[in-house]
Amino acid sequence: MENLQTVKQRFGIIGNDPQLNRALEKAIRVAPTDISVLVTGESGVGKESIPKIIHQLSHRKHAKYIAVNCGAIPEGTIDSELFGHEKGSFTGATQSRNGYFEVADGGTIFLDEVGELPLTTQVRLLRVLENGEFIKVGSSKVITTNVRIVAATNINMMEAIHKGKFREDLYYRLSTVEIHLPALRKRKEDLHLLFRKFASDFAQKYNMPTIRLEPEALSVLTNYGWKGNIRQLRNVTEQISVIEQKRSISADTLRSYLPDYNSNFPALIEAKQGDSDFSSEREILYKVLFDMRNDINDLKKLTLELMENGNSNTKGVSPKLIQKIYGEDQEVEENLIEIISPNKKESYTPDKSYSDTYEDAETIEETLSLQEKEYEMIKKALDRNQNKRKMAAKELGISERTLYRKIKQYNL
């Protein structure tokens, strides 16, 4: 069994990150077996290297190795590509064709972006994994194949299973061993090594001096988010190598090649800034609470006026204010009192502008009187509109659905 450093040199893998080393060690260990492997990781982290390592270190290394990008093949033809078809099985099938699973018999198939496979194709793939059998499109003859499958995906497979886009049984068959490759932003110590390797390669390719990073530029390189991972780093290094005349790259020059640099650069938050943010959030919370308290006071004022006048006629009362009483989905007054004064047994102290009018009134007493007036208001509104709920709801300033709920509540 080859050791880790030998495999890195053989397959051109740069880096010493512990997660990367762990992934490579797992690949080396499973290579001599026929276990199915699922490689996971973000797009651009180099997932295609793992199946190559597994194939080359296995007893199948002299047989075929076929890499298939499942996301690049149209849904209508993917079954034909993977399993083959018979002549005349569909329009344009002028002759029989062998699929990848037949061609790669005895070898390895790498299914990249396996999460993009249609559900019908997933059923066929599951049969291959379980007993090595498949049927060509348009045929009834069962064909046996001896193929090792290594798959890769950059999507969250459990989420795809939950949404019904991927079969759970197929996932567990593919992921007998799961190998995860870390994102480039988590391999900060490897970033400069990779940059230097790419810079050297492009210097040889384009016959020009190698670019190098100034100290500040190195800091920019290390702290950037690298959403495109190794693929993005390689692309940026190639652009700089070709376009820039100076071989010493400054921080400003490097930033100009990094899209959305400011949004990706991690902010260094000082204590004062944190205190300021907290203070700002606290002020917003206080404002919300004061607004809710004012709403409660408005409700109390309306109730008091109704009680003093002994009249439930809603004429002249603001529909917006009535809407505060009859919430669409909840009783606003009760919920707001619960937020501001969780202990309903205690009296709620209203705004000072109303304190003289009902200083000794308890919350629970006001809630009961409000319900009584609510009953009278709804009953009279229905009587005036000859029990037409739509008109009564419009007069009360509430939705018809809310009115219907109140009618049921009060047995009207």
pLDDT tens digit string along 128-139?
A: 999 999 999 999
- Its sign, for the CA torsion 378, 383, 384, 386, is positive
pLDDT at 319 exceeding the cut of 80: no
Confidence of residue 209 (pLDDT cuts 50, 70, 90): very high
Specify the range with the lowest mean pLDDT, choosing from 178-187, 224-233, 238-247, 335-344. Answer: 335-344
Considering only the top CATH level, what class is 188-264? mainly alpha
pLDDT at 118 exceeding the cut of 50: yes
pLDDT at position 345 is 43
Nearest to 107 by CA among 165, 155, 145, 147: 147
pLDDT at 396 exceeding the cut of 60: yes
What residue has token string 């009115």? 403
pLDDT at 217 exceeding the cut of 80: yes
**Is-same-fold flag (4-182; 188-264)?**
no
pLDDT at position 331 is 47
Mean pLDDT (whole number) for 9-29:
95
In DSSP terms, which residues pair with 150 in a beta bridge?
37, 110
Nearest to 187 by CA among 24, 53, 51, 3: 24
- If one compares 58 and 267, the residue with the highest pLDDT of the two is 58
Confidence of residue 334 (pLDDT cuts 50, 70, 90): very low
Residues in the chain, how many? 412
Q: How far apart are CA 174 and CA 176, in angstroms?
A: 6
Confidence of residue 381 (pLDDT cuts 50, 70, 90): confident
Specify the range with the lowest mean pLDDT, choosing from 159-168, 276-285, 293-302, 371-380. Answer: 276-285
pLDDT at position 265 is 44
Confidence of residue 223 (pLDDT cuts 50, 70, 90): very high
pLDDT at position 18 is 95
Label each residue of the chain as H, E or C: CCCHHHHHHHHCCCCCCHHHHHHHHHHHHHCCCCCCEEEECCCCCCCCHHHHHHHHCCCCCCCCEEEEEHHHCCCCCHHHHHHCECCCCCCCCCCCECCHHHHCCCCEEEEECHHHCCHHHHHHHHHHHHHCEEECECCCCEEECCCEEEEEECCCHHHHHHCCCCCHHHHHHHCCEEEECCCHHHCHHHHHHHHHHHHHHHHHHHCCCCCEECHHHHHHHHHCCCCCHHHHHHHHHHHHHHHCCCCEECHHHHHCCCCCHHHHCCCCCCHHHHHHHHHHHHHHHHHHHHHHHHHHHHHHHHHHHHHHHCCCCCCCCCHHHHHHHCCCCCCHHHHHHHHHCCCCCCCCCCCHHHHCCCCCCCHHHHHHHHHHHHHHHHHHHHHHCCCCHHHHHHHHCCCHHHHHHHHHHHCC
Q: What ranges do the domains of the chain cover?
A: 4-182, 188-264, 272-410
* 51-81 pLDDT, tens digit each: 999 999 999 999 999 999 999 999 889 999 9
pLDDT at position 137 is 92
Nearest to 296 by CA among 341, 329, 251: 341
Q: What is the mean pLDDT of the chain?
A: 82
Mean pLDDT (whole number) for 205-211:
94
Q: In percent, how much of the chain has pLDDT > 70? A: 75
Confidence of residue 94 (pLDDT cuts 50, 70, 90): confident
Q: Which of 216-225, 272-281, 378-387 has the highest mean pLDDT?
A: 216-225
Mean pLDDT (whole number) for 215-223:
94
Mean pLDDT (whole number) for 141-151:
95
Matching CATH number, 4-182, of 3.40.50.170, 3.40.50.720, 3.40.50.300, 3.40.640.10:
3.40.50.300
Q: How far apart are CA 399 and CA 412, in angstroms?
A: 17
Q: Burial of 184 by CB count in 10 Å (0-12 exposed, 13-18 middle, 19+ buried)?
A: buried
pTM of the model: 0.62
pLDDT at position 401 is 79
- If one compares 292 and 339, the residue with the highest pLDDT of the two is 292
